[in-house]
Amino acid sequence: KNEVEQSPQNLTAQEGEFITINCSYSVGISALHWLQQHPGGGIVSLFMLSSGKKKHGRLIATINIQEKHSSLHITASHPRDSAVYICAVREGPDKLIFGTGTRLQVFP
Amino acid sequence: NAGVTQTPKFRILKIGQSMTLQCTQDMNHNYMYWYRQDPGMGLKLIYYSVGAGITDKGEVPNGYNVSRSTTEDFPLRLELAAPSQTSVYFCASSIAGTGNYGYTFGSGTRLTVV
């Protein structure tokens, strides 16, 4: 069993839909990161969470430390949101464990 | 402000050849990392550095070497390239480790070993 599990692996949506991507982890962590990997391959850091909830534009990230679960929500999805979304958790000093990513495609 | 710059973007190597992947950051970040990304797998840490003159192994260091002579540069050296090293390589940096600070990633190097 992977230490970081993301679901779903693939997600297709129509423009305007509300999107939820889930991340569950099995190790004790001090922080969780959400990253976005563009179709061209570049990776951008979206959020770093250690508790609660963060919002940036149409993106919302939440984390429940007790349940070892985080969600990334996209409101009013747009085709430009099409990307791979990656969850990563910090287990120990200088060590991130990455999920395999959720591939999102948003169609007009 | 260029962020993290990786070169080259693409490379094809023959088995047994060697090469250096370059990584430079202009944000004065003390931590730098090299990851590889294989299809269907999460990113794996190859090597990392917490500052100039200091490097340490990650999860998958075999077949690679690094150096950190300056804060800005963190090159990754492949000696005796093997097909198993076909992958996409990402360099990243952060201010002070992964726990409380975000990462900045380079655009990646797609390497094929034939």
Query: CA B93 to CA B26: how far, in whole Å?
Result: 10
pLDDT tens-digit profile of A21-74? 999 999 877 789 999 998 877 899 999 998 999 999 999 999 999 999 999 999
Residues of A in contact with B102 (CB under 8 A): 33, 45, 48
pLDDT of residue A93: 62
**pLDDT reading at B99 higher than 70:** no
Rounded to an integer, the average pLDDT of B28-56 is 92
* The CA-based dihedral angle spanning residues A22, A25, A29, A31, taken in that order and rounded to the nearest 10 degrees: -20
The percent of residues in chain A predicted with pLDDT above 90, rounded, is 76
Residues of A in contact with B101 (CB under 8 A): 48
Confidence of residue B48 (pLDDT cuts 50, 70, 90): very high
pLDDT of residue B36: 96
